[in-house]
Amino acid sequence: MSTPQVAVVMDWGGTWTRTAVINKQGEILWQAREPNPQNGSKEEYLTNAETLLANAIEHAGGPVAGIGAAVAGPVEPTTGTFFQPP
């Protein structure tokens, strides 16, 4: 089994969700972004993020070393729950 050479990153903001595949040197190999649903439900936001992450993993072309995410607003560390998002 080969050692993963790439990571998937996500910026889940208030207006847009962006994902990318990066290599060990930090170079962007693939990227995409989609607007978040305006006044959407929690499920719509999650579906948007899940779709972008699935596309990024597909474009990684092999094993992924990890997934990093930046989110808009604070996160409760023990549960991973967002609170007071924009």
pLDDT tens string 21-63 = 999 999 999 999 999 888 878 888 889 989 999 999 999 999 9
- Of 34, 41, 30, 39, the closest CA to residue 13 belongs to 34
pTM value? 0.80
The structure tokens listed for 66 are 């990890």
At residue 63, the pLDDT reads 93
At residue 14, the pLDDT reads 80
Q: What residues make up the domain containing 24?
A: 6-78
Confirm whether 86 is domain-assigned: no
| Rounded distance between C-alpha atoms, residue 26 and residue 47, angstroms | 27
Confirm whether 85 is domain-assigned: no
CATH code of the domain in which 65 resides: 3.30.420.300
pLDDT at 9 over 90: yes
**CB burial class (10 A; 0-12, 13-18, 19+) of residue 21?**
buried
Q: Which residue has the tokens 């607003």?
A: 73
Identify the residue with better confidence: 51 or 85.
51
How many distinct structural domains can be found in the chain?
1
